Amino acid sequence: MSGIPANRDSFGSRFGVIAATAGSAIGLGNIWRFPYVAGENGGGAFLIIYLGFILLIGIPVMLSEFTIGRSAQRNVFGSFRKLAPGKPWYLIGLMGVGAAFMILAFYTAVAGWTLEYIFQSVINGFEGLSSNQLNDMFYSFIGTPWRPLLWFFVFMALTGAIIMSGVQKGIEKYTKILMPMLLVLLFILVVRSVTLPGAASGISFLFKPDFSKITPTTILEALGQAFFSLSIGMGTLITYGSYIQKNDNLGNTAVSVAFADTFIAILAGLAIFPAVFAFGIEPGSGEGLVYITLPNIFLQMPGGYIFSLMFFILLGVAALTSTISVLEVIVAFFSEELGLKRKAATWLATSSVSILGVMCVLSSSTMADVKIFGFTVFNLMNFTSANILLPLGGFFIVIFVAWFLGRDGAKEELSNQGKLKVRYIPFYMFVIKFLAPLAIAFIFLQGVGLINFS
């Protein structure tokens, strides 16, 4: 096996690390899924449980991925081969690469929709449409093959272009621009939303704790949201961890990323729900909220043209920072394991993912009747990655650090070879040995339908 290349690229600054890693974690799920799930599950009560899981489970699992990546300084597959030579742990790495393929295929399809809606915002395509017409507009768009395919390829090309430039000149450079841009857009939307007449009920929907809505399902929802929100289990954090310099404090980085991720999710809630309530519109979930409910609100809002455009650009930016990180998992694997130059590895990764991606795009139109195990290709990629590969990846990652690398191996990396005081090690080891595996097992069992509390 080849050693670490002497000229291996890395992040150049602490802000670069946080911008890139937080960008990986912050995606479409933060902007539309988190606010809705929080609102439906007791608002502030859900928030409290969610924050508890981020601190208790999310950060320790993220730290485990950083530890593996930085100590090996390889891609997700190569990291396990280097740290556990001759043992089958590398299969976790292969699972991560497989998950990245699936996620990138369906996620880029959805990301392409944001480009269509940016285009519609520019040409004022929502003007004068009723709620039913907005609904028809969305479903007729995804139900025809050509436009979604065009936007899919544009988004994939944008992602590939950034990755091709490398870690410091590509990922770091662009996430340092995109993340502050995302924050500024969100702040402007929040100010507009909370100053609308009648916005107060939307704020209380999001923040007022309603403990009567807390059920075992709610607790699992909060746990699952904390897990998926931080991009845990798919190899992104191991790959990014391998680019973190040896003198950076991994503990501080993990806390900063978790804080940024949660802060953006809460801001998104503040941008969306006061506006939804101010106009007395029923908050639909998922794509219905983003692509049908929100254009309806923008139509009724003073300055709606500008805010509509800003919102869909925000969604596009959030999606792009995520697709960059997922593509990097595959490109790092191809370039280090197959010995390809970054440019060739990027071409191979984007073209192979695009084959799968085209099938995901067409799942709403010409391939809608093609079913595998009862799923369309899009839904199969989504279900397999979210409910099987990510929880299994996360489970084995913490098991690997807790029981294979062990306390000494983890402490060595987290303390920067003894230079930092890491007083949290006993707590961290307890979590990754016992609490995290148990919590992730629950997510997995619920995801595949073996347990159901509802």
Joined together, the tokens standing for residue 138 give: 């969305």
Q: Give residue-wise pLDDT tens across range 274-300.
A: 888 888 776 655 666 778 778 888 888
The pLDDT of residue 161 is 95
Q: What is the CB-side half-sphere exposure of residue 258 using CA atoms within 13 A?
A: 24
Q: What's the mean pLDDT in 49-65?
A: 92
* Orientation angle between helical segments 131-142 and 146-164, nearest 10 degrees: 70
- pLDDT tens readout for residues 319-356: 999 999 999 999 999 999 999 999 999 999 999 999 99
pLDDT at residue number 4? 45
pLDDT at 303: 85
Whether the per-residue pLDDT at 454 is higher than 80: the answer is no
At 6, the pLDDT band (50, 70, 90 cuts) reads very low
- Using alpha carbons only, give the angle 434, 397, 214 rounded to the nearest 5 degrees: 55
Query: What is residue 415's DSSP assignment?
Result: T
20-44 confidence digits (pLDDT tens): 998 888 888 788 778 778 877 878 8
How do residues 142-172 score in pLDDT, each as one tens digit? Answer: 999 999 999 999 999 999 999 999 999 999 9
**For residues 350 and 299, what is the distance between their CA atoms, to the nearest angstrom?**
37
Can you give the residue range of the structural domain that contains 74? 14-381
Confidence of residue 425 (pLDDT cuts 50, 70, 90): very high
Q: Reply yes or no on whether the pLDDT at 2 is more than 60.
A: no
221: domain CATH number is: 1.10.4160.10
Is-contact 400 238, C-beta < 8 A? Answer: no
Residue 86 lies in a domain: yes
pLDDT bracket for residue 7 (50, 70, 90):
low
Q: In the predicted model, is pLDDT for residue 3 greater than 70?
A: no
In a domain, residue 165? The reply is: yes
Under 8 Å between Cβ of 329 and 234: yes
Give domain status of residue 419, yes or no: no
Confidence at residue 1, expressed as pLDDT on a 0 to 100 scale: 37
Rounded Cα distance between 144 and 358, Å, is 13
Residue 417: strand, helix, or coil: coil
**Tens digit of each residue's pLDDT (9 = 90 or more) over 255-272:** 999 999 889 988 988 888
DSSP code string of 8-77: -----SHHHHHHHHHHHH-SHIIIIIHHHHHHHTTBHHHHHHHHHHIIIIIHHHHHHHHHHHHHHTS-HH
β-partners of residue 138 are none
- Contact by Cβ (8 Å): 126, 134: yes
In this model, does residue 92 exceed pLDDT 90?
yes
Mean pLDDT of the chain: 88
Residue 397 lies inside a defined structural domain of this protein: no
Calpha distance 304→51 (Å, rounded)? 33
Burial of 6 (0-12, 13-18, 19+ CB in 10 A): exposed
pLDDT of residue 309: 92
Q: Tell me what pLDDT residue 451 has.
A: 80
Whether residue 279 is contained in a domain is answered as: yes
Q: Is residue 418 part of a domain?
A: no
Number of domains in the chain: 1
Rg of the Cα trace of the chain? 21
Percent of the chain's residues with pLDDT above 70 = 96
Instruction: Tell me whether residue 398 is in a domain.
Output: no
Cβ within 8 Å of residue 100, ≥6 positions away:
234, 235, 236, 326, 327, 329, 330
Does 389 fall in a domain?
no
pLDDT in tens, 104-127: 999 999 999 999 999 999 999 888
Taking the C-alpha atoms of residue 204 and residue 193, their distance in angstroms, rounded to an integer, is 14
Which residue type is seen at 417?
Answer: Q
Q: What percent of the chain has pLDDT over 90?
A: 46
Q: What is the pLDDT of residue 287?
A: 64
